[in-house]
Amino acid sequence: MELKRKNIPLFVLATLLFGIKTYIVYRFMFSIELENIMQEVILFINPFVSAFLVFALSVWFKKQTRQMKFLRYTALVGTLIIYANLVFYRSFTDFITLPQLFQASNAADLGSSILTLIKPFDILLFADVIFIWYLSKRRSEQEIVRYSKSGKVFALAMSFVLLAGNFFLAEMERPQLFTRAFDREYLVKNIGLFNYHIYDLATQAKAKTQRVFADGNELPEIQEYVDENMKRNEKSELFGVAKGKNVIFINAESLQSFVINNKVNGEPITPFLNRLTKDKDTFYFENFYHQTEQGKTSDSEFIVENSLYPLSRGAVFFTHGQNEFNAMPEILGKNGYYTSVLHANNKSFWNRDQMYQRLGIDHYYGEESYEVTEENSIGWGLKDKPFFEQSTKILQKLQQPFYAKLITLTNHFPFELGEEDKSIEPYNSNSSTLNNYFPTVRYMDESIEQFFNQLKKSGLYENSIIVIMGDHNGISANHNRAMSQYLGKEEITPYDQIQLQRVPLFVHIPGYGKGGVKSEVSGQIDVKPTLLNLLGIKNSDDIQFGNDLFSNNRKEFIALRDGSFISEDHMYTNNTCYDRKTGEPIAEEDNKNDSTGKEENEKEKQVCDPIREQVEKELGYSDDLIYGDLFRFLDFDKK
């Protein structure tokens, strides 16, 4: 290798600069939890390993100009990948997956949501790219660098040695790391962002082949599991209590349970919903959890309509919009219901125009069905009050009985609201997102109260049941410092974070008079069997993973998509088993009496491992049904 002694090879310099930048992003811009010094070491070395592996490829180009061009564009593309993940992380506390790239059609509708996630200092992330670009141009003109064959082989061998070492340390720290594809933070923390994306690509390719090789032989095992655990043949005392009634389902955007019966600045946040919790015609489920993942609102819809879990990567509405399902709207349609969705957004957002057909929805009333003006819209579109007012007129024209799902918009990140619509003042913390959340929640509460009154005037109220459900969380873990301030806690623990995934569920049955607050652990996966039972529709042959919420004999846990679960007595998340009532880690309690930790591990295994194993099995079965499109092998009409 002929090289001026005073210069470091540019690919080495690029590796150092890019590695340092990546580590800074990992450590100070992503909220990656480090539990020990080994995790810190792995997090530090993996960006340099990934950078060296890629930049060292430049030595294989014979021409100096091509070497320099490769380094320039590799640095630029790598930085863009980091930055795209950073912006995404600021909103969702998660990393981008390949299936989400197919959701790019949603980007045009994000507008101000994306702009709020971009910070002025982000430009500094491109400083090394500019520097490398400058040096590569200069060196292309001033010197020629030739690498011998042995030097090239050495660079390549060193790349793989470093990569193998990284993977070895990662496997030591977290055995069976690559079996936890749903835990993206663990993957990024241990193998790096770029290796994670390569792994994600391989996982996606494997998933795509499942449908090709599926033949229906997978179904008996899944059906046996469902038969043993879902108690589908049992009828609760409320079976048929709403037989023949309309179903009006309000999908309440980003509404979390912590605002119910709570105050901000001394003012109640949700006065109308607070009253509903005490209404004798209403059942309020106070320990009801959303189970969405990257698909957010579309995941919520998918879970509710199918009683299946969303995917750990991407949104089913996009990745599997051509699948066959046995969804609730289709079942209702076979029982005389007209089914519809009302949402003042375009039909292609979340691929709804295609997916709704697969779910058996008769008609989608999108933005073209509403009068949307500059005065009555903000943020994502039509404000909730005019949305409900115009929706009432649509509902009056529907064939009865009907199932109508109304999806709200105003309480959506970044929670914009004009001063004329604010009934309470924002909160005062370091998070403008949390601060502005409270006025938009109050606006939603007022709009739902207005909708109830409009239904009564229209004549639809008495012959309908009204369901109100929060679709997913609105405040991500990125705002935990402000959230801990609001909740009066020193910090938001992993236990607290799971508790914040509770969303409200109200089932309002006019004239019933026997409602109340339900404290049992429940989730969105339970909505489909619950509503079908209330309507008196038998569905004992279906494949579903939820239970009727009013049944006394239900499975003992609610699973979240990341493998966490909540049971009546315990909670499991971040590899820790908690006492659900106290929030204390079980292992920590046992450690006080046993320094060896043996009893601690045995107790944790005893109380949490059996459910954890069942959760993994259940999530796996649901994935098999979706990836393999297994419902195409079933004919529910013949059962």
pLDDT tier at 194 (50, 70, 90 boundaries)?
A: confident
For residues 189 and 459, the model is more confident at: 459
Q: Residue 596's pLDDT is what?
A: 43
Q: Residue 525's pLDDT is what?
A: 98
pLDDT tens track for 57-74: 877 777 777 888 888 899
One domain, residues 275 and 194: no
pLDDT tens track for 476-520: 998 999 999 999 999 999 999 999 999 999 999 999 999 999 999
Which DSSP string corresponds to 582-629?
T--BHHHHHHTT-TT-HHHHHHHHHHHHHHHHHHHHHHHHHHHHHHTT
Q: Residue 313's pLDDT is what?
A: 83
CATH code, domain with 267: 3.40.720.10
Q: Is the pLDDT of residue 158 over 90?
A: no
Tell me which range, 153-162, 551-560, 588-597, is most confidently predicted by mean pLDDT.
551-560
* Domain range enclosing 253: 246-307+324-538
Token pair, residue 294, equals 């990257």
One domain, residues 254 and 118: no
Catalytic annotation present for 297: yes
Distance CA 447, CA 442 (A): 9
Collapsing DSSP states into helix, strand and coil, what is residue 502?
strand
Strands 464-470 and 505-508: antiparallel
609 falls within a domain:
no
One domain, residues 163 and 254: no
One domain, residues 264 and 117: no
Cα–Cα distances (Å) from 517 to 236, 277, 524, in that order, read 17, 7, 17
331 falls within a domain:
yes
pLDDT tens track for 258-315: 999 999 999 999 999 999 999 999 999 999 999 999 889 999 999 999 999 999 888 8
One domain, residues 179 and 290: no
Q: Residue 140's pLDDT is what?
A: 55
Mean pLDDT, residues 6-31 taken together:
85
Q: Is the pLDDT of residue 4 over 50?
A: no
Q: Which of 79, 282, 297, 493 is catalytic?
A: 297
One domain, residues 262 and 187: no
pLDDT tier at 177 (50, 70, 90 boundaries)?
A: low
**Lowest-confidence region among 9-23, 107-121, 203-217, 622-636:** 107-121
Q: Of the residues 538, 562, 577, which one is the last residue of a structural domain?
A: 538
One domain, residues 261 and 147: no
pTM for the full predicted model: 0.78
613 falls within a domain:
no
pLDDT tier at 3 (50, 70, 90 boundaries)?
A: very low
635 falls within a domain:
no
pLDDT tier at 359 (50, 70, 90 boundaries)?
A: very high
Distance CA 209, CA 206 (A): 5
Find out whether 95 and 184 touch, Cβ atoms under 8 Å: yes
573 falls within a domain:
no
Provide the number of structural domains found in the chain.
2
One domain, residues 329 and 436: yes
For the chain, give the percent of residues with pLDDT over 70. Answer: 86
Q: Residue 116's pLDDT is what?
A: 75
**Lowest-confidence region among 220-234, 272-286, 329-343, 564-578:** 220-234
